[in-house]
Amino acid sequence: MKEIILCKYGEIALKGLNKSSFESMMVKSVKYRLKSLGDFEIYRSQSTLYVEPLDEDIDVDEVSDRLSKVFGIVKLCRCCVLEKDMSVILDKGCEYLAEQLDGARTFKVEAKRSDKRFAMKSPEICAEMGGAVLDRFPHLKVDVHDPDVTVVVEIREQNAYVHAGQTDGAGGLPVGSSGKAMLLLSGGIDSPVAGYMIARRGARVSAIHFEAPPYTSDRARMKVEKLAKIISAYCGEIDFYCVPFTKIQELLRDNCPEEFFTIIMRRLMMEIAQRICEREGIQALITGESLGQVASQTMYAMVCTDAVCRMPVFRPCVGLDKSEIVEIARKIDTFDTSILPYEDCCTVFTPKHPRTRPKLAEVERAQQSFDFEPYIRQAVEQTSVQYIKTY
Ligand code: ATP
Ligand code: MG
């Protein structure tokens, strides 16, 4: 039976005159994600995107899964496409949902008739469909309040569609609709979540990772690449920058007071990241910091870090508890990779007693005791880039 996936958008529908440019960005994301699965016809009508597989062999489960990760789509609905003839709708609709109805105890029917020319009204469609379901699945009972399955019949312009309700889409705004941002990606739990959250608001996300071989291993870097790959299922292709940071960390260790290590290191990271952003036309930074989580994430420390920043720094986890961040990490499937026990450059030279209330003037003075500029330039020049994508 011919199947189609209806993707319903939420916020975009409210975008007024800009709606169509948001829609085209979403269509572009959808096409990109599905490219490797076969040919599709994709069209839009009534704040819905219709994704129609053109080939019998296309794996529709995989299509649904990929679409559920496209930002901008709020609800997904996998349905069968039928002729707008009531006897066909009853017959084929029941056949299409047989597996779900077999396994259920209760059901109800909803009808949506956006084609007002269709002869029957919604209550009549519900009554007929309800009767047909009860005839074919006599074990079922009607429950209008909390049914196991909701059978939905939609009568639209071209066709009728039957499905068993909607599933949640990824929400947010289509990638590319909100500018470009650079995610400081470590191997931890928080930064992949932060990147996902800002991408969900429409930003095209690139990632930058600082590594310090031989203190950090190849496996640690591969773990971070894997995290970038997992979030790219949502964010789309990611430009992944990898900065050699060993020299700078050693100089820091040898030249600056230990209590300010981490904070100066973070300022240097921001500086390097910004230079690459300026070169690449990226407008903002993203970090996984959460207020008060560790010494370098107190408000005092953030003031010292932001003092070197010439662009906005987005910290979407700033107001979240760790458990809330973990919940998102599990949902987007980064958690199991994030907790693999590889070292991060931040953990290699951690001071024993970091200052939780550093003063900006003191930090600046400590940093000025050594001229990092040539090494910053060198690190930027030696930064490698690769393109990471899931599909
Ligand atoms: P995460 O779980 O993201 O590692 P964290 O709680 O471990 O965060 P820190 O290690 O203090 O926190 O790092 C704070 C933020 O700094 C990270 O969320 C990330 O955005 C950035 N960061 C830390 N280490 C690196 C690194 N090696 N490369 C790039 N960014 C980093
Ligand atoms: Mg970390």
Question: What's the 374 CA to ligand 2 centre distance in angstroms?
Answer: 27
Ligand that comes closest to the CA of residue 344: 1
pLDDT in tens, the chain (391 residues): 899 999 998 777 677 767 888 889 999 999 999 999 999 999 988 788 999 999 989 999 999 999 999 999 999 999 999 999 999 999 999 999 999 999 999 999 999 998 999 999 999 999 999 999 999 999 999 999 999 999 999 999 889 999 998 999 999 999 999 999 999 999 999 999 999 999 999 999 999 999 999 999 999 999 999 999 999 999 999 999 999 999 999 999 999 999 999 999 999 999 999 999 999 999 999 999 999 888 788 999 999 999 999 999 999 999 999 999 999 999 999 999 999 987 777 777 777 888 888 899 999 999 998 999 999 999 999 999 999 998 8
The answer to whether residue 197 is domain-embedded is yes
pLDDT at 353: 82
Q: What pairs with residue 108 in β-bridges?
A: 150
Residues 6+ apart with CB under 8 A from 178: 201, 202, 203
Please check whether residues 17 and 106 belong to one and the same domain: yes
> Which pTM does this prediction carry?
0.92
How would you class 61 by CB atoms within 10 Å of its CB: exposed for 0-12, middle for 13-18, buried for 19 or more? exposed
Residue pointed to by tokens 């009972």: 141
- Which domain-ending residue is among 168, 190, 221? 168
- 81 vs 105: CA distance, rounded Å: 25
Please check whether residues 126 and 263 belong to one and the same domain: no
Closest Cα to atom 12, ligand 1: which residue? 289
CATH value at residue 254? 3.40.50.620
pLDDT at 93: 97
The domain in which residue 374 lies consists of 180-388
Q: How many distinct structural domains can be found in the chain?
A: 2
Please check whether residues 224 and 146 belong to one and the same domain: no
pLDDT at 237: 94
What is the DSSP code string of 167-194? EE---SB-TTSS-EEEEE--SSSHHHHH
Nearest to 93 by CA among 47, 125, 46, 59: 125
Q: Is 346 in the pocket of ligand 1 (CB under 6 A)?
A: yes
Q: Is 348 in the pocket of ligand 1 (CB under 6 A)?
A: no
Please check whether residues 156 and 107 belong to one and the same domain: yes
- Which domain-ending residue is among 168, 200, 234? 168
Dihedrals phi, psi of 79, to nearest 5 degrees:
-140, 165
pLDDT at 229: 98
pLDDT at 244: 97
Atom number, ligand 1, closest to the C-alpha of residue 346: 24
Q: Is 287 in the pocket of ligand 1 (CB under 6 A)?
A: yes
pLDDT at 341: 87
Closest Cα to atom 11, ligand 1: which residue? 296
Atom number, ligand 1, closest to the C-alpha of residue 297: 11
Ligand that comes closest to the CA of residue 221: 1
Task: Give the chain's count of helices (H) and strands (E).
Answer: 15, 15
The answer to whether residue 221 is domain-embedded is yes
Residues 6+ apart with CB under 8 A from 298: 291, 292, 356, 357
Q: Is 325 in the pocket of ligand 1 (CB under 6 A)?
A: no
CATH value at residue 10? 3.30.2130.30
pLDDT at 272: 98
Please check whether residues 228 and 348 belong to one and the same domain: yes
Question: What's the 183 CA to ligand 1 centre distance in angstroms?
Answer: 10
pLDDT at 316: 98
